[in-house]
Every structure is written in C-alpha cells, then in structure tokens.
Amino acid sequence: MWWHQHNLCFRHPIEEDYSGDLEEKVATIAETDESAESEGVIDSRKRREILSRRPSYRKILNELSSDVPGVPKIEEEKSEEEGTPPNIATMAVPTSIYQTSTGQYIVNCLYKLVAFCFIAAATGDMPTYQIRAPTTALPQGVVMAASPGSLHSPQQLAEEATRKRELRLMKNREAAKECRRRKKEYVKCLESRVAVLEVQNKKLIEELETLKDICSPKTD
C-alpha cells in the first residue's frame, strides 16, 4: 500500500516511465465520466484499464544488466537460508530519506540508479543485488490432486475445485511474500547506492573547493 498513498513522497520508481501519474489520469477520467462522477467512486475495473503493466523487477534488472557490459545476468540463487544473506547490502539509511524533498528526488531517480548497483556489483564495489528462489515448499499435508479422470460425482468435482483453489491461493500467497521480499531488497540496494553516491559527491565537491583555492590567484 505504501507505494501509492497520496501523502507519501515515495513513488514507484518505474511508474514514472510506464504509466505516468496514475492519480492524475484517474482524476481526469472521473471528471469526464458522468456515472463515476455521480457516485464519486471510480470503478476498480476502470482503474485497472488505466493502469499499464510494468515489467517485473527481475526483467528490469536483467535488461539493465544486459545494457551494462560485464555485468552478469541475475539468476535464481539456490539459497536455502532465511534472513539477510551475508553478501547483501544492509547499510543503514535513515528512513527520513523518503520524506524529505531530497528523498523524493532520490526515489524518482531510483530506476535509473539501479544500473549503478550492477556496475558496482560487477566491480566489487558493493554487494550484488540478489534474487533468491522461493524457499518455501508446499506444507506437509497438501496432497496432490487426483487425476480428473478418476472423479465421478459432482461432489467430488466440487471438492476438487475447492482444493485446487486453495492450492492456488496458497501458492499465490507465498509468491506474494517472495515478491515483496525481493522488492525490499531491490529498494535496499538502491538506497545503499544512493548513500555511496552521496558520500562520493561530497568528496568531489570538497576536492573541487580545494583545487579552486590552490588555483585561484592571490589578490593582495
């Protein structure tokens, strides 16, 4: 939910490039649509139509990696451990970074900055952004479906349908968890890179000032 709350200065980094300002579009359509206007509520289906699909994180990262020479493609890691892997950046970044005007700028630029993550990772500058394969297996007790040919009565078919639905929901639940975990890692990676670049920038500015002092003629 935190991606699209109005008062939070933290827009989806990709949203900029793919769908523009959703709220604005929705508002525009609401104004022109009399039925929606009368109710003051935009039909969720209409909202969905407005939304243009964005590529997955994995796809974005892989595309970026192919654009950056020497950067390996992201592959599913066969990691079995939960928690923060030792080689993933865990640099602490103040959360206020989201809420300041600077934070807004940073976040709007995150999509572009992700390339830096890969460059840095490739050069050993910072840990690689990783995508782990889902680690959760089906819980014990989940029995695989009987073949449809073996079902006879409507009741059996109904049970089968229910069971299939529950299985699908369970899988989707796990997928959503995994997806969110990846998203967090993705953001963490970008935050780390921002922190590194801020330090770098500060150093360069200081260096520039020093050089200016040395080179400027003395006016006595």
Partner DNA sequence: GAGCAATATCGTCACCCCTG
Partner DNA sequence: CAGGGGTGACGATATTGCTC
Among 54, 56, 14, 5, CA closest to 190? 14
CB of 163 to DNA, least distance (A): 13
Instruction: Find the helix packing angle between 110-122 and 57-67, rounded to 10°.
Output: 60
Q: Report the interface residues with DNA, using CB under 7 A.
A: 1-5, 7-8, 12, 14-15, 19, 22, 44-45, 47-48, 51, 53-59, 95, 99, 134, 169-173, 175-180, 182-183
CB of 195 to DNA, least distance (A): 18
* Cβ neighbours of 179 (radius 10 Å): 15
Measured from the CB atom, the residue of 112 and 180 that comes closer to DNA is 180
Measured from the CB atom, the residue of 173 and 203 that comes closer to DNA is 173
Neighbouring-strand partners of residue 132: 77
Measured from the CB atom, the residue of 2 and 149 that comes closer to DNA is 2
CB of 13 to DNA, least distance (A): 9
Q: Rounded to whole angstroms, how far apart are CA atoms 195 and 191?
A: 6
Please state the separation of Cα 216 from the chain's center in Å.
47
CB of 6 to DNA, least distance (A): 8
